[in-house]
């Protein structure tokens, strides 16, 4: 007998799930770039980590944000182009770096290395320009270096550095957390800076170097700040174009929880915090909608994920990879699907070794974490139309919060071919639940329904390493089909993907 019911409403389409919602973020922080994307910070031993390239290429990651994070607003891109032995070594203001855990930057991995890495992986680059300590000229020059096809010094410098054709970088972030590490600005101050940068970086039809760039402003999880930013940006008469395509915010959760000393109560609190993503998307969308613009402005969550007490600056923000973190990612990806009408991208933090990374490395080994498995399980949603779902689920009061934790969550989508895909989470770490998934008006009796499940019989805090990484792979899940109702048994802390052709 089912104790939770998910109803999928195929007639109530929400919007396309942009593939970029499964995007990633990499910063010059700890072992993310050096020892993660790149072999080392020693110029003579340079080279991409082929094992990491292969794992990310297999996942078909749609977009990768770089070089930060806080690092972005302390980064001067010209330090990282040209012959590697001539590049200046700089202090890294915010983070420990590479194998020696030193706060210095060799600049061995710069713009060309990053953009070639993206080409190898088959992903779109998203560059974050320096607003906090940079200037509009520097940002505009970066665009010219990357994208211009003419006979200028910067375009020719790119050619000399090995890339004849323009890279065609589409996504440009103007600043990172400018309310904090990116300059501690008021929203009005950032709005004024943003307008200056947007003018020179250029994305307006009346500029000769129009590149159809997508410009991204960095918002805040304080929504009053976002309202004030939008009002100020909207004040000036910009003519026909409004110079903003996406507004972002960052949502980390679990900051007070040690993953190695957590309890069932703590897991519940952690998951409730993760589910606050829903509130943040609604609020930032409302800040956008409050101001009339000539552009359709999307919501990006360009840093998100679990951040536990284990991850500190001194260890390059490293923390163990666990099932509970992966489960939170599944819950958040469901939320993104529900908001496909406003969500244009997200970038989980951070791709390799740092925070809720998907891939971990140690010496010559590289392996995938449970969160990678979740992204893989959710991949069929990419590019589909999201469908409205309603969920009737048991829940539990969560100590130290005003919230309940709803145990069962879900999202659904449909492909052009008519194939539907439903993902269902059981966030209850203590008990299993039987879930009826009703697809309104769709008799699945003769359909070749296929289902997979992650994390059966895995403890929420089980840590992944090179020796057990394969144990977290998806397994087949039994589905009972009765007309338009599909029933599945979900063990504690599991996530399932069901496809209905």
Sequence-distant (6+) residues with CB within 8 A of 332 are 274, 275, 277, 304
Asked if 52 contacts 359 with a C-beta cutoff of 8 angstroms, the reply is yes
Q: Which stretch binds ligand AHR (CB under 6 A): 50-58, 65-73, 149-157, 369-377?
A: 65-73
Q: CA 209 to CA 199: how far, in whole Å?
A: 12
Is 324 a residue that touches ligand AHR (CB under 6 A)? no
Nearer to ligand AHR, 62 or 175 (CB): 175
DSSP 402: S
Q: CA 127 to CA 81: how far, in whole Å?
A: 15
Q: Which stretch binds ligand AHR (CB under 6 A): 64-72, 75-83, 155-163, 238-246?
A: 64-72
Phi, psi torsion values for 228, nearest 5 degrees: -65, -40
Q: CA 284 to CA 299: how far, in whole Å?
A: 7
Phi, psi torsion values for 180, nearest 5 degrees: -130, -115
Q: Which stretch binds ligand AHR (CB under 6 A): 47-55, 78-86, 127-135, 347-355?
A: 347-355
Nearer to ligand AHR, 199 or 309 (CB): 309
Helix (H) or strand (E) holding 446: none
Q: Between the CA atoms of 307, 308, 314 and 319, what dihedral angle is there, to the nearest 10 degrees? A: -90
Binding ligand AHR (rule: CB under 6 A), the pick from 127, 287, 349, 469 is 349
Is 69 a residue that touches ligand AHR (CB under 6 A)? yes
The pattern of x and - marking residues 233 through 272 that bind ligand AHR according to CB under 6 A reads -----------------x----------------------
Binding ligand AHR (rule: CB under 6 A), the pick from 176, 337, 411, 425 is 176
Is 70 a residue that touches ligand AHR (CB under 6 A)? yes
Q: Which stretch binds ligand AHR (CB under 6 A): 115-123, 156-164, 348-356, 463-471?
A: 348-356
Six-digit token pair at 33? 């770039």
Of 485, 418, 487, 476, give the one whose Cα is nearest residue 450. 476
Instruction: Pick the catalytic residue from 177, 193, 273, 360.
Output: 177
Q: CA 59 to CA 64: how far, in whole Å?
A: 13
Asked if 353 contacts 316 with a C-beta cutoff of 8 angstroms, the reply is yes
Q: CA 9 to CA 163: how far, in whole Å?
A: 49
Nearer to ligand AHR, 73 or 113 (CB): 73
Site for ligand AHR in 19-58 (CB under 6 A): 27
**Is residue 20 annotated as part of the catalytic site, yes or no?**
no
Site for ligand AHR in 267-306 (CB under 6 A): 303
- SS3 label, residue 365: strand
CB of 355 to ligand AHR, least distance (A): 6
**Is residue 177 annotated as part of the catalytic site, yes or no?**
yes
Q: For 351, what's the count of Cα atoms within 13 Å in the CB-facing half-sphere?
A: 33
Is 351 a residue that touches ligand AHR (CB under 6 A)? no
Q: CA 38 to CA 45: how far, in whole Å?
A: 10
CB of 49 to ligand AHR, least distance (A): 20
Binding ligand AHR (rule: CB under 6 A), the pick from 41, 73, 144, 177 is 177
CB of 25 to ligand AHR, least distance (A): 7
Nearer to ligand AHR, 74 or 124 (CB): 74
Instruction: Pick the catalytic residue from 18, 20, 303, 318.
Output: 303
Asked if 69 contacts 25 with a C-beta cutoff of 8 angstroms, the reply is yes
Can you name the residues that pair with 216 across neighbouring β-strands?
Answer: 173, 246
Is 219 a residue that touches ligand AHR (CB under 6 A)? no
Nearer to ligand AHR, 158 or 250 (CB): 250
CB of 270 to ligand AHR, least distance (A): 18
Q: Which stretch binds ligand AHR (CB under 6 A): 53-61, 62-70, 196-204, 458-466?
A: 62-70
CB of 69 to ligand AHR, least distance (A): 3
Q: CA 252 to CA 315: how far, in whole Å?
A: 18
Six-digit token pair at 123? 């992903």
Six-digit token pair at 42? 């020693």
Binding site for ligand AHR (CB under 6 A): 27, 68-70, 176-177, 250, 303, 349-350, 355
Q: List the catalytic residues.
A: 177, 303
């Amino acid at each position: 007998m089912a104790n939770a019911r998910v109803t999928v409403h195929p007639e109530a389409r929400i919007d396309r799930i942009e593939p970029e919602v499964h995007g990633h973020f990499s910063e010059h922080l700890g072992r993310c770039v050096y020892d993660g994307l790149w072999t080392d910070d020693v110029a003579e031993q340079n080279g991409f980590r082929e094992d990491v390239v292969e794992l990310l290429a297999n996942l078909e990651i749609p977009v990768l944000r770089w070089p930060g994070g806080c690092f972005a607003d302390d980064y001067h891109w010209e330090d990282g182009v040209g012959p590697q032995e001539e590049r200046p070594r700089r202090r890294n203001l915010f983070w420990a770096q590479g194998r020696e855990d030193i706060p210095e930057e060799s600049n061995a991995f710069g713009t060309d290395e990053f953009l070639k890495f993206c080409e190898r992986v088959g992903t779109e680059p998203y560059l974050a320009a320096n607003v906090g300590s940079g200037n509009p000229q520097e940002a505009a020059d970066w665009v010219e270096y990357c994208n211009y096809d003419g006979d200028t010094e910067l375009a020719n410098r790119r050619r000399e550095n090995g890339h004849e054709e323009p890279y065609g970088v589409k996504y440009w972030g103007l600043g990172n957390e400018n309310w904090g590490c990116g300059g501690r600005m008021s929203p009005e101050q950032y709005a004024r800076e943003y307008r200056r940068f947007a003018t020179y970086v250029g994305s307006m039809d009346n500029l000769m170097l129009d590149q159809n760039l997508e410009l991204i402003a960095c918002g805040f999880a304080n929504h009053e700040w976002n309202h004030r930013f939008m009002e100020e940006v909207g004040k000036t008469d910009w003519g026909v174009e409004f110079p903003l395509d996406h507004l972002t915010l960052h949502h980390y959760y679990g900051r007070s929880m040690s993953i190695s000393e957590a309890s069932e109560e703590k897991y519940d609190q952690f998951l409730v915090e993760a589910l606050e993503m829903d509130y943040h998307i609604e609020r930032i969308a409302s800040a956008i909608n409050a101001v009339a613009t000539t552009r359709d402005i999307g919501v990006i969550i360009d840093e998100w994920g679990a951040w536990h007490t284990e991850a500190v600056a001194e260890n390059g923000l490293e923390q163990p990879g666990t099932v509970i973190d992966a489960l939170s990612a599944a819950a958040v990806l469901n939320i993104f699907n529900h908001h496909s009408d406003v969500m244009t991208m997200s970038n989980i933090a951070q791709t390799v070794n740092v925070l809720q990374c998907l891939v971990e490395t140690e010496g010559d080994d590289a392996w995938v974490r449970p969160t990678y498995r979740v992204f893989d399980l959710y991949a069929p949603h990419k590019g589909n139309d999201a469908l409205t779902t309603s969920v009737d689920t048991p829940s539990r009061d969560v100590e130290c919060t005003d919230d309940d934790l709803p145990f069962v969550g879900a999202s659904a989508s449909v492909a052009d071919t008519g194939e539907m895909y439903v993902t269902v989470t059981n966030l209850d770490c203590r008990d299993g639940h039987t879930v009826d998934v009703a697809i309104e008006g769709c008799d699945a009796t003769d359909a070749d329904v296929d289902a997979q499940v992650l994390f059966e019989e895995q403890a929420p805090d089980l840590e992944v390493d090179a020796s057990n990484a394969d144990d977290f792979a998806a397994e087949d899940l039994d589905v009972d089909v009765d007309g338009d109702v599909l029933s599945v048994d979900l063990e504690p802390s599991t996530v399932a993907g069901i496809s209905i052709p």
